[in-house]
């Protein structure tokens, strides 16, 4: 993987890499992905991307990441500002961990997860801009 050296937007790079794996290796067969091994791999990258985005938010909120033990800790902090995004974060996390565990994913699940991550990321970007102002 060529992700490590790039400091631009690592979260986005993980997403692109995951999409590539899904397209070229997991391979869509109707509405589900054919190869569990690569589906798991892609889901892991998407989850990493989600966690990186969340950590960015925690940083601007001056929260030590080491104090956050479970996804519920993240969700609780986000819920203080936006409940909808908080629920979406938990839902996406649950979907991705299930895919990583079972190795089975429908195209819809992956697409919904990616859409949610984009929404979460956009909201966090807005929060950062607000924070800077």
* Positions that interact with another protein (CB under 8 A): 30-32, 84, 87-88, 90-91, 94-95, 98, 102, 104-106, 108-109, 112
Q: Take residue 77 and report the two structure tokens written for it.
A: 């902090």
**Smallest distance, Å, CB 101 to another protein?**
9
Q: Which is nearer to another protein, 12 or 106 (CB)?
A: 106
Instruction: Kindly state the smallest distance separating residue 89's Cβ from another protein, in Å.
Output: 11
Beta carbon nearer to another protein, 59 or 104: 104
Cα 60-51-31 angle, rounded to 5 deg: 140
Angle at 118 between CA 11 and CA 104, to 5 degrees: 80
Q: Which of 88, 125, 67, 29 is nearest to 96 (CA)?
A: 88
């Amino acid at each position: 993987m060529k992700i490590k050296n790039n400091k631009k937007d690592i979260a986005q790079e993980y997403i692109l890499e995951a999409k590539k794996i899904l397209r070229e290796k997991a391979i869509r067969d109707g509405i589900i992905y054919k190869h569990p091994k690569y589906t798991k791999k892609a889901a892991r990258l998407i989850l990493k991307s989600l966690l990186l985005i969340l950590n960015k938010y925690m940083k601007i909120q001056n929260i030590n990441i080491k104090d956050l033990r479970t996804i519920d800790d993240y969700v609780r902090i986000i819920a203080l500002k936006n409940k909808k995004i908080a629920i979406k974060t938990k839902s996406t996390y649950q979907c991705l961990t299930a895919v990583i565990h079972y190795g089975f994913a429908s195209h819809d699940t992956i697409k919904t997860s990616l859409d949610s991550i984009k929404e979460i990321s956009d909201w966090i970007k807005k929060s950062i801009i607000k924070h800077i102002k």
